[in-house]
Amino acid sequence: MKVETLLCLNAVFQDQPKVDFYMNNRRFAPHGEFIEDVLCHWYGEYELLEKHHRYIQWLFPLREQGRNEHAKPLTFSEIEIMKNTAEIQHRLRRAYKLMLNFFGVKIVGEEEIEVIRDSNFSTHFSNLNTNTHNNLRITRIVKSMGELGAAQYQAPLVKFFLKEILVEDQLQNMKESALKYSLPAVKNDHERDALSEYVLKHRISKNTKRLLPVVTSLLPTPITHWTPAYSEKEKKWLSEEPGEYREDGWYQLENERIVLPATLAPEIVRALHSRTHGGKTAMEQQLEPYFYVPGLTAICKAIAHQCVTHAKNNPRQGIVRPPGVLSVELSPMSSLQIDFTVLPPCKGYKYLLVLVCTLTGWVEAYPTRTEKTAEIVGCLMREIIPRYGLPLEIGSDNGPAFVQSCLQQLARLLRILWKLHTTYRSQSSGKVERMNKDLDG
């Protein structure tokens, strides 16, 4: 029995290159250094860290084969040893800080870990945008920290890059990798869900911010024309809300919406209505993304009801017809209808992929060789999203190309609401069906 036990132990500990490397007993391969030499002498050597591609699979090993054939996949026995060896855990954190410095960021705090910009971030961000292979390195680091018992370092790093991408409008070449690979790699369910909500919140915020010039242009005078006067009750409520007073006296919430005092709200809503004569719902949709208005629905309803012009043009007598089912977004190219139509054969192209904006009616048409899902994905990723950003929703029929699981998974990943409807049903996709007829003619 003792002999068998010794043989088993020998088999377990016989070949553990990652453990040996982290214990400073071997160099990384091929033609590498000991880990202590890397941690001590490579810190700040940015050109070396950028151009050398063999070390990263050893510093942050995974249970999958990487591009370095000399760095074998991490084994379960190695994982257990590395998670439970203090010396290895200490070196793992030093390696993490080494790479963060290379990316132009640093960590602060021990209990509450936060990743922030380092003083040299500008040059390093430029390098990250240019050399996109660093996206793979970042994802590897996030995954490896989770595998090796340091999962608390995952979410802070991912959140930092999401903030830079979505809020600060930096590192745009990292966006797809961060959303598709780094975020799902976070092991803690609560932290991963919180990051997903953060992405959704700021994607919606970014889409609505683009409409602000439209709303302000509809007001007869700028919002700064009015002087806010918040009541004591409102001031008490605002003191408990995340936000701050601007220099012009207006209170701006954390989501960038401006709070309108109850005494001023009717006057400002009436000023908007005097330019548009919109109904209750239209005014709410125009104001809600940018202003917090106490009792907005009641104010809009009362002002629309009192408008003579509105009453003359919208008598609405008798039975009210049910509302239509086609939704129209408030910004161009945020809601699309998409369909294939037949194209006279020309140089191998047989079909036309047609996309129509439901708000503006703008048409984009691309010749394709097939009616396959790959054509749709290629068009969205190469043509539509780079120029117009991510749409909020896309409508199509339930043809084979549109119901493929890979396309629907991509839509869910990008948080695009994909609406499927009956083929040739004009009530659901009238815009693109009419455009197909025009193109066929």
172, 162 in Cβ contact below 8 A?
no
pLDDT score recorded for residue 139: 94
Give the percent of the chain with pLDDT over 90: 34
Query: In the predicted model, is pLDDT for residue 1 greater than 70?
Result: no
Cα separation of 106 and 124, whole Å? 12
Does the domain at residues 212-313 carry the CATH identifier 1.20.120.160?
A: no
Cα separation of 439 and 288, whole Å? 39
Does the domain at residues 335-440 carry the CATH identifier 3.40.50.1000?
A: no
Cα separation of 417 and 419, whole Å? 6
Close Cβ partners of 151 (under 8 Å, ≥ 6 residues apart): 145, 186, 187, 188
Query: In the predicted model, is pLDDT for residue 4 greater than 80?
Result: no
pLDDT score recorded for residue 203: 63
Cα separation of 248 and 246, whole Å? 5
Give the percent of the chain with pLDDT over 70: 83
Between residues 330 and 195, which one has the greater pLDDT? 195
Between residues 385 and 433, which one has the greater pLDDT? 385
- pLDDT tens-digit map of 286-300: 788 788 887 888 888
102, 46 in Cβ contact below 8 A?
yes
Query: In the predicted model, is pLDDT for residue 370 greater than 70?
Result: yes
With cut-offs at 50, 70 and 90, classify the pLDDT of residue 119.
confident
User: For 336, phi and psi rounded to 5 degrees?
Assistant: -125, 150
Query: In the predicted model, is pLDDT for residue 432 greater than 90?
Result: no
- pLDDT tens-digit map of 385-400: 999 888 989 988 888 8
Q: How would you write the chain as a 3-class SS string?
A: CHHHHHHHHHHHHCCCHHHHHHCCCCCCCCCCCCHHHHHHHCCCCHHHHHHCCCCHHHHCCCCCCCCCCCCCCCCHHHHHHHHCCHHHHHHHHHHHHHHHHHHCEEEECCCCCEEEECCCHHHHHHHHHHCCHHHHHHHHHHHHHHHCCCHHHHHHHHHHHHHHHHCCCCCHHHHHHHHHHHHHHCCCHHHHHHHHHHHHHHHHHHHHHCCHHHHHHHCCCCHHHCCCCCCHHHHHHHHCCCEEECCCCCEEECCCCEECCCCCHHHHHHHHHHHHCCCHHHHHHHHCCCEECCCHHHHHHHHHHHCHHHHHHCCCCCCCCCCCCCCCCCCCCCEEEEEEEEEEEECCEEEEEEEEECCCCCEEEEEECCCCHHHHHHHHHHHHHHHHCCCCEEEEECCHHHHCHHHHHHHHHCCCEEEEECCCCHHHHHHHHHHHHHHHC
pTM of the model: 0.48
**Is residue 277 classed exposed, middle or buried when 0-12, 13-18 and 19+ CB atoms within 10 A define those classes?**
middle
Report angle CA 168, 170, 174 to the nearest 5 degrees.
130
230, 251 in Cβ contact below 8 A?
yes
- Where in the chain are the domains? 14-207, 212-313, 335-440
User: Per the structure block, which two tokens stand in for 389?
Assistant: 């950003």
- pLDDT tens-digit map of 88-100: 999 999 999 999 9
Query: In the predicted model, is pLDDT for residue 5 greater than 50?
Result: no
Asked, as a colleague might, if the bond just before 30 is cis with ω within 30 of 0, I would say yes
pLDDT score recorded for residue 428: 57
pLDDT score recorded for residue 328: 56
